[in-house]
Structure 1
Amino acid sequence: MSRAWRSGTLAAVAAGLAAVVGLAACGAPAEEAAGPVKVVWWHGQVETQAKVIQDLAADYNRTHPGVQVVPAVGTTNVDDMLQKVQAALAGGDAPDIAYMYGSWSAHLAKSPKVYDLTKLVKDPAFGWDDFWPSERAAAEVNGKVIGVPAIVDNLAVVYNKKLFDAAGVPYPSKDWTWEDFRAAAAKLTSPEKGVYGTAYPVTGSEDTVWRFWPMLWQQGGSIVSPDGKTAAFDTPQAVQALTLWQSMARQDKSVYLDQNGEKFLPLFQSGKVGMVIAGPWALLDFIDHKISYGVQVLPGYGGNHETIAGPDNWVVFDNGSKRTKAATDFLTWITRPEQDARWTLGLGNLPVRKATMELPAYKQFVKDFPDVDVFTANLDNAKQARPALESYPEFSEKVGDAIGQALIGGTPVQQALDQAAKDAGRVLAKSR
């Protein structure tokens, strides 16, 4: 499953969420008088993931008789979760816990119904420092912790060993540069065989953009100004990064430009692409297709191999003190290493806590998913989070458009980035 920064539903629901905030704040549901405290858990998972959720809830209920955790899909698609929660807030029937994309944090932080978890996570017993910095950053908005990490990932390079061997190209090393990446892609490319050295999803969405941001960060660049009021990506560093991809695509012809974002991974599986920038979610399909693959950190500038993570969160809604206390106690339990291993590792996802790596389950995980430990170690290279801005989805679209114009249309890189910076600046100004 892709953990890209989702933005498709945000523009449509932002105004609606703001409108119901005041209504939802008028009062919380009355506390239930007797019986176990009910915790309604909207997770949005299906099939195997949903089964794991059900089993975890059943185990908790069995060992905590005063609480009844009730898993409910709430929506069959996590993409729709914000809309579903918005409607529930307006109707006074919000869940106690919901799975929320990290891209929604800035919106959620505005609602008084979103329970502030700062006190919970700052308690030494919770072990907040055991979560990676990128997870903690995505869960906090202006000093308010709005969620506890549910899923974390990051971007690295997955490469086809068979294609590298056939082309006589050495496997990528952990200190490789972007010029090394370009050279390898050129050598792997074989027009007569229909093989590309690498691929880039050019959808104009965040799937395009979040692959670009690490190249800025590696050079000391920023996405927005420290106060979040102006675009900061139109820099020589950004020009250098996008020029590399444009040169690969238009001069070397070594990049498959995937304009719907759904072809480049299947092409990798079929041996038609040598390297893809992807996350751990892709490994299961590669294993199923018996691909001989390897994983390496992103190429770097000046020895900096910074990457990007896309954490999602469990968010608690305030339905009264008893239910809130039960919900936060449950979140504390479910994020313990033993439960984390069941929820994440069993489904091919990275652990959300460092301590989980000490368990036998993690050692088995690495055996089942070769080189997944490279992704886990790569979380140390995820040092920053994308800005927690309500306008980020529209902001991102401007950058995605610029990347597409440069790679597909051949627009000069400086021109494309200048226009994107102007357009993104107007988006930021409009949101203030």
Structure 2
Amino acid sequence: MRKPYITLISILILIVSIVLGGCSGSDATAKKEDGKVTISFSMWDTLDESKANFITAFEKKHPNIKVKLVNIPEDYSQKINSMIIGGTAPDVILAWEADIQRFAKSGAIDPLDKYIKKTKAFKMDDFIPAVSRLNKENGKIYGLPWCYATEFLYYNKDMFDAAGVEYPNENWTWKDFEEAAKKLTIRQGDKTVQWGADAISFPGIWYSMIGAAGDDIVDKNGKLDLSEGLRKALEFQNKLTNVDKVSPQPSVGGEVVDLFAAGKAAMTRNGSWYISSYRNNKFHWDIAPLPKEERSYASLHTGFFTINSNSKHKEEAWKFIEFMMSDEGQSMISKMYNNPSARKSVAAKGDYKVAGENGPTNWDVFDKTAQFADFGYVLVNPSITNDLVNDFNAVLLGKKDIEEVIKTDVPKAQKQIEKDK
């Protein structure tokens, strides 16, 4: 979901290209055309006519403001960073989690507190807990989440029924997960024809396991907190993979086969966005919170509406953000992307729900997970967290030991974080 940052040399090359020819057709400042103020808004998704309706709806409410979409489908974070440096950034930036704190500290984006204080479109106490925690950590409100995604435990109800295993629930622990995986694994001779659980394919699951085992992942000072929780997570997943042999080894290179979707794994831990992918599954399935260890934990994923500090039309930029965070704007986003609003009152309407014929039904898992989910690892440069996941997988493949990861790879990652700053 997140692509790694580019090197300093690459950034300099991009800056030169921006200065000479512009980047993605964006405008550095808003322009007045035919009596209208034109503001630019950037996002990574390509919008067709059906998905651009939130811009049309805003322009109908504010006929004096035109919104120019700056679509950056590849290398989004890198290009936005370069555009900020080059003075060509859009008026409204949909910023990644790993960027917002750095943008705030550098003065690239404005705090929104003065606007929020006057708005009647929403209230800050309506947001899920993690948003309040992040705002408190930043000192001010620099961005508002356009929606959110998280991570779940998916399970094949038909396989559970056939094995006589009770379905997962919010009280499930790692031990419950392991015992169920053992019962659900089927072997024919030396061949495993049904896995109790699929391998970890999404990096966020590793960090959610580490968080569940007690580590904060990223502390209040922005430093990595990966120690005993990481050790427990590595030991647990290694046991599932190489001792119990109820989960296959991680894929290395090439495309990852989704064994759950293929009906060859009874459980998988993955992002909430897979609900849309799984809705056409031929078997009955459902969702549950990720199993807990020391605590319940899941990673949150979103983007934040922010205002470029160099924008010449900040009031118009705020009006666009205000609309997007209103009941109408949030409902439109939920329906388009099948993700719930980070505003609890809007999420309660269920606009994000897209069920298939065979599942899911446990929609309250979103609400339960939102109570304990946190941004955690997504606040760090994704190239660093992805590199660490390669180290985690190397343990499962027998190429590294746990102590090497904790005492060598994690400190190395921390040095890289400090270097990036």
Structure-1-length-normalised TM-score? 0.81
Q: CA deviation at 1:228?
A: 3.5
Mark the CA change 1:70 to 1:19 in structure 2 (over 3 Å): closer, same or farther. Answer: closer
Q: CA deviation at 1:175?
A: 0.6
Mark the CA change 1:263 to 1:430 in structure 2 (over 3 Å): closer, same or farther. Answer: closer
Indicate whether 1:67 and 2:58 are aligned: no
- Aligned-partner Cα distance in 2 for 1:387–1:359: 27
Q: CA deviation at 1:247?
A: 0.7
Paired residues of 1:306 and 1:382 also in contact (CA < 8 A): yes
Q: CA deviation at 1:36?
A: 1.6
Mark the CA change 1:95 to 1:143 in structure 2 (over 3 Å): closer, same or farther. Answer: same
Paired residues of 2:137 and 2:220 also in contact (CA < 8 A): no
Structure 1 partner of 2:209: 215
Structure 2 partner of 1:188: 184
Structure 2 partner of 1:312: 303
Indicate whether 1:170 and 2:166 are aligned: yes
Q: CA deviation at 1:422?
A: 3.1
Indicate whether 1:421 and 2:410 are aligned: yes
Mark the CA change 1:424 to 1:341 in structure 2 (over 3 Å): closer, same or farther. Answer: same
Q: CA deviation at 1:353?
A: 1.3
Paired residues of 1:279 and 1:375 also in contact (CA < 8 A): no
Paired residues of 1:40 and 1:69 also in contact (CA < 8 A): yes
- Aligned-partner Cα distance in 2 for 1:375–1:55: 26
Indicate whether 1:258 and 2:256 are aligned: no
Give the residue type in structure 2 aligned to 1:212: W
- Aligned-partner Cα distance in 2 for 1:30–1:305: 45
> Residues 224-373 of structure 1: matches in 2 within 5 Å?
224-229=218-223, 231-235=224-228, 237-256=229-248, 257-260=250-253, 262-265=255-258, 267-302=259-294, 304-321=295-312, 323-359=313-349, 361=351, 370-373=361-364
Structure 2 partner of 1:199: 198
Q: CA deviation at 1:195?
A: 1.7
Give the residue type in structure 1 aligned to 2:371: D
- Aligned-partner Cα distance in 1 for 2:117–2:377: 23
- After superposition, the C-alpha distances for 1:182-223 in whole angstroms (9 at most, x for unaligned) are 111122122335221112336xxxx42x21233333343222
Question: Could you tell which deviates more after superposition, 308-317 or 30-39?
Answer: 30-39
Q: CA deviation at 1:155?
A: 1.1
Q: CA deviation at 1:93?
A: 3.7
- Aligned-partner Cα distance in 2 for 1:221–1:99: 29
> Residues 83-122 of structure 1: matches in 2 within 5 Å?
83-89=78-84, 92-122=87-117
- After superposition, the C-alpha distances for 1:147-196 in whole angstroms (9 at most, x for unaligned) are 22123111110111112122222111221110111111122122335221
- After superposition, the C-alpha distances for 1:63-111 in whole angstroms (9 at most, x for unaligned) are 22221223342x2x1x422343345445544322233321222442344
Structure 1 partner of 2:35: 35
Secondary structure of residue in 1 paired with 2:287? strand
- Of 361, 375, 398, 1:409 maps to 398
Give the residue type in structure 2 aligned to 1:153: A
Give the residue type in structure 1 aligned to 2:321: L
- Aligned-partner Cα distance in 2 for 1:320–1:18: 21
Indicate whether 1:51 and 2:49 are aligned: yes
Structure 1 partner of 2:148: 152
Paired residues of 1:161 and 1:294 also in contact (CA < 8 A): yes
Q: CA deviation at 1:120?
A: 2.7
- Aligned-partner Cα distance in 2 for 1:431–1:40: 28
Secondary structure of residue in 1 paired with 2:260? helix
- Aligned-partner Cα distance in 1 for 2:9–2:112: 24
- Aligned-partner Cα distance in 2 for 1:326–1:429: 36
- Aligned-partner Cα distance in 1 for 2:11–2:129: 30
- Aligned-partner Cα distance in 2 for 1:426–1:113: 24
Secondary structure of residue in 2 paired with 1:198? coil
Secondary structure of residue in 2 paired with 1:268? coil
Mark the CA change 1:421 to 1:332 in structure 2 (over 3 Å): closer, same or farther. Answer: same
Q: CA deviation at 1:11?
A: 4.6
- Aligned-partner Cα distance in 2 for 1:429–1:319: 27
Q: CA deviation at 1:370?
A: 3.3
Paired residues of 1:217 and 1:306 also in contact (CA < 8 A): yes
Give the residue type in structure 1 aligned to 2:264: K
- After superposition, the C-alpha distances for 1:102-159 in whole angstroms (9 at most, x for unaligned) are 1222442344342322333455734122121324555787324332212311111011
Question: Could you tell which deviates more after superposition, 53-62 or 122-131?
Answer: 122-131
Secondary structure of residue in 1 paired with 2:397? helix
Mark the CA change 1:179 to 1:312 in structure 2 (over 3 Å): closer, same or farther. Answer: same
- Aligned-partner Cα distance in 2 for 1:261–1:200: 15
**Which runs of 5 or more structure 1 residues have no equivalent in the other structure?**
none
Give the residue type in structure 2 aligned to 1:148: L
Q: CA deviation at 1:258?
A: 2.9
Give the residue type in structure 2 aligned to 1:418: K
Q: CA deviation at 1:327?
A: 1.2
Mark the CA change 1:17 to 1:241 in structure 2 (over 3 Å): closer, same or farther. Answer: farther
Mark the CA change 1:216 to 1:80 in structure 2 (over 3 Å): closer, same or farther. Answer: closer
Paired residues of 1:10 and 1:104 also in contact (CA < 8 A): no
Question: Could you tell which deviates more after superposition, 192-201 or 162-171?
Answer: 192-201
Mark the CA change 1:190 to 1:169 in structure 2 (over 3 Å): closer, same or farther. Answer: same
Mark the CA change 1:254 to 1:218 in structure 2 (over 3 Å): closer, same or farther. Answer: same
- Of 374, 388, 394, 1:399 maps to 388
- Identical pairs, percent: 23
Paired residues of 2:126 and 2:343 also in contact (CA < 8 A): yes
Structure-2-length-normalised TM-score? 0.83
**Number of residue pairs aligned between Structure 1 and Structure 2:** 405
- Aligned-partner Cα distance in 2 for 1:16–1:133: 38
